[in-house]
Chain A
Amino acid sequence: MSFEELLTLAFRAIIGNKLRSFLTTLGITIGVFAIIVLVSIGSGLQSYITNEISSLGSNVVFVIPGSSGGLGAVLSNKLTIQDSKNLERRLISTGKVTPEVRQVETLKYKNIKDKGAFIIGASSAYPQVIQTFKIAEGNFFSAGQESSGSNVVIIGQTVKTKFFNGGPALGKRIFLGNKLYTIIGVMGKLGSIAGIDEDNSAFISVESASAQYGITSIARIDVAANSPELIPIVIRQINETLLKRLTTDDFSIETADSLSSTISSITGMLSLALGGIAAISLLVGGIGVANIMLVSVTERTKEIGLRKALGAKRNDILKQFLIEAVMLSVTGGIVGIVLGMGVSIIIAIILVSTVTPWSVILAFGFSVAIGIIFGMAPAIRASKLSPIDALRYE
């Protein structure tokens, strides 16, 4: 029997039982769909974060509370504003330093209120440290405004749109919680990470933040070396300064490179875990194919007997049922790939997701393999039927 004839035969058998074929392929479709979408989200997240970090520049060093990769920072954060100030003095000739403290706060202007804005407390050096940060209008606060504790604020694009609706914002006074701040600058657009709008934020000086919120421990200290070559020296100076008061378990130093590789390995694991969970559903789909093929072989016992009586060899019957199983699972696979890619592209608009070629190839390969693996047992069973018994079967 030619391959073309086998394909026609399989196609007719599948079409001859539309609902059953649809439900069987659905299992594979869902599995493949889940693999593609979840892996796309995982790798989209990974490339987004990696890009974000590398856009910070190669001369940036972050001091993060807790030991590297540990959970210390969550349990007790020992990094304080004073540590940041000590670093500023120590690195006066080698780099710029800014702390970052964060607080969620309600903003209010006239009768407009917004509850979920991020307040970030930083030093006046922040725009020089974080190079992706741009000022669209006005200015960042100066060192003088910082040390005097002036209540001045730089707002994000979302905040500006929400409260001033395109009108001028500079010089207006806005409530951050219960305190009035004067808007002296508007940030350039930052975009959003994983659905969190980075533009719904406002920068105030770390002095104001600690005065208003009583914050002493900080989320991060960002350091920019004056040149990439100075990074080893900067790291040594940070260690010397901080170890006077803290132990090595209390903080860790990450460069853009080390940070992105750490995050890459985390998101890589995430992708793998998501893909693995999705693969389980594909496995279940494969069992569905095996199940329905077994039913189909039993139902068509008489057909098998007749075909054998008319001259079909074992191999002809084996191929007939195997190709039918593969066709079922590959059809499911292709539908799953198309849907998965479609949904991944839609997700990419709202969140982040990148359709990776390897997940598509893998998903397709999986669906072929599942057809073969789970189709094999029923096909062998069919090919071994004795023609007499099969013809007698009612």
Chain B
Amino acid sequence: MKTTDEIIRMTNITKVYTTGDVETIVLKDIDLVVKRGDFLGITGRSGSGKSTLMHIIGLLDTPTAGTYILNGTDVSKLDEDEQAFQRNKEIGFVFQQFNLLPKLSALENVILPAIYAGMKKTERIEKATKFLTMLGLSEHVNKRPNQMSGGQQQRVAIARALMNDPELILADEPTGNLDTKSGDDVMNTLKQLNKEGKTIVLITHEHDIALQAKKLIQLEDGKLVHTGKGGFSA
């Protein structure tokens, strides 16, 4: 059954890595609900488990135990190809390293998720152009990543994240490789998208960036130690 107001519902999510005989618990009994239209910040020191949580939210990894409902679908135990399908449909990624393909133009980079979704050629070019224009990149459509500034590259990546109209934008340290001004631009873009109805999950270890989210959770040693913005410490 599809619950309309919950994008993410995680119950008792646990992740254990086994190396030889040694078991490392990276996440322990995480319960998390993200509602449609939320802007959630996930923060924590490196090693706190926030990257692993982000990978599980982004269907790049599977939990060892627990249940994960993404936009009404149980995605806890999908195989790799099913994960790829859900990822493609439901989640837009924004990475710290931008992760644009260097040999493709801005437009071709934005189009990528639509290719794997099977969108028609004319439609996807039209749509990608629309997003690039919306993000102020109309003059850079045919430029390669190395011909653009970091801020511009990250906006190309945001356009790519929007390509398949996902409900959820998952931003992993999106300002980590940017100067303050470009970082602010990116944050403003994310806030604008949130206003327009996108649900945003932002992973960051930067205090001032984290505080721009509407809600905040903090991870420490694989556990949720703090929920809400009050009394937050980085």
Q: A306-B101, A310-B113, A312-B116 are in contact. Are A391 and B87 (CB under 8 A)?
A: no
State the CA gap A315–B81 with chains docked (Å): 9
Q: Which of B30-82 contact A (CB under 8 A)?
A: 55, 58, 60-61, 80-81
Interface size class of B (residues with CB under 8 A): 20 to 34
Q: B117 touching A309 by the CB < 8 A rule?
A: no
- Complex Cα gap A316–B99 (Å): 19
Return chain B residues, CB-CB under 8 Å to A108.
none
* CB interface residues, A 294-349, toward B, < 8 Å: 302-303, 306-316
In the assembly, what is the distance between CA of A163 and CA of B80, in Å?
85
A20 to chain B, nearest CB (A): 14
For residue A311, which residues in chain B have a CB less than 8 angstroms away from its CB?
Answer: 84-85, 87-89, 113, 116-117, 164
Which residues on A sit within 8 Å (CB–CB) of B115?
Answer: 1, 5
Least CB distance, B40 to chain A, in whole angstroms: 20
Tell me if A388 is interfacial: C-beta within 8 Å of chain B.
yes
Residues of B with C-beta under 8 A to A168? none
Docked pose: A1 CA to B118 CA in angstroms: 6
List residues of chain A with CB within 8 A of the CB of B131: none
B160 touches A391 (CB 8 A): no
* Complex: A312 Cα to B112 Cα, angstroms: 9
A12-B103, A306-B101, A307-B112 as given contacts; A313 in contact with B81, CB under 8 Å: yes
Q: With A311-B87, A311-B116, A314-B81 in contact, do A391 and B61 touch (Cβ < 8 Å)?
A: no
* Alpha-carbon gap, A256 to B29, bound state (A): 92
How distant is B62 from chain A, measured CB to nearest CB, in Å? 11
**A5–B87 alpha-carbon span in the complex (Å):** 21
Interface of A is mostly: helix
> Contact: B80 with A1, CB < 8 Å?
no
Bound-state CA distance A266–B55 (Å) is 67
Task: Please state if B93 and A310 are interface contacts (CB–CB under 8 Å).
Answer: yes
A303 to B109, CA, bound (A): 11
Cβ-neighbour of B95 out of A16, A307, A391 (below 8 A): A391
Q: B-facing mask of A1-37, CB < 8 A → 1, else 0?
A: 1000100000010001000000000000000000000
Asked whether B60 lies within 8 Å of A388 as measured between CB atoms, the reply is yes
Docked pose: A313 CA to B117 CA in angstroms: 10
351-394 of chain A: CB within 8 A of chain B:
387-388, 391
Could you tell me the distance between the alpha carbons of A307 and B84 in the complex, rounded to whole angstroms? 10
| Complexed CA–CA distance, A311 and B101 (Å) | 15
Q: How far is the CA of A312 from the CA of B83 in the complex (A)?
A: 10
Q: How far is the CA of A131 from the CA of B108 in the complex (A)?
A: 75
Q: Which of B61, B85, B116 has the most CB of A within 10 A?
A: B116
Chain A contacts for B81, CB-based, 8 A: 313-315
In the bound assembly, the distance between CA atoms of A393 and B93 in angstroms comes to 18
Contact of B101 among A303, A312, A387 (CB under 8 A): A303
Chain A, residue nearest B51 (CB) = A388
Contacts of B107-157 to chain A: CB distance below 8 A: 112-113, 115-117
A306 to chain B, nearest CB (A): 5
**Which chain A positions have C-beta within 8 A of B95?**
391
Q: Which residues of chain A have C-beta atoms less than 8 A from B84's C-beta?
A: 308, 311-314
* CB of A311, distance to nearest CB on chain B (Å): 3
Q: How far is the CB of B203 from chain A (nearest CB, A)?
A: 14
Q: Which A residues touch B101, using CB under 8 A? A: 303, 306
* 13 more A-B residue pairs beyond the given contacts A315-B81, A388-B61, with a C-beta to C-beta distance below 8 A: A1-B115, A1-B116, A310-B93, A310-B112, A310-B116, A311-B84, A311-B85, A311-B116, A312-B84, A313-B85, A313-B116, A314-B84, A391-B95
11 A–B contacts, CB within 8 A, in A order: A1-B115, A5-B115, A16-B103, A302-B99, A306-B101, A309-B60, A310-B112, A310-B113, A310-B116, A313-B80, A314-B81
Q: Which 3 A-B pairs have the closest CB atoms?
A: A311-B88, A311-B116, A313-B81
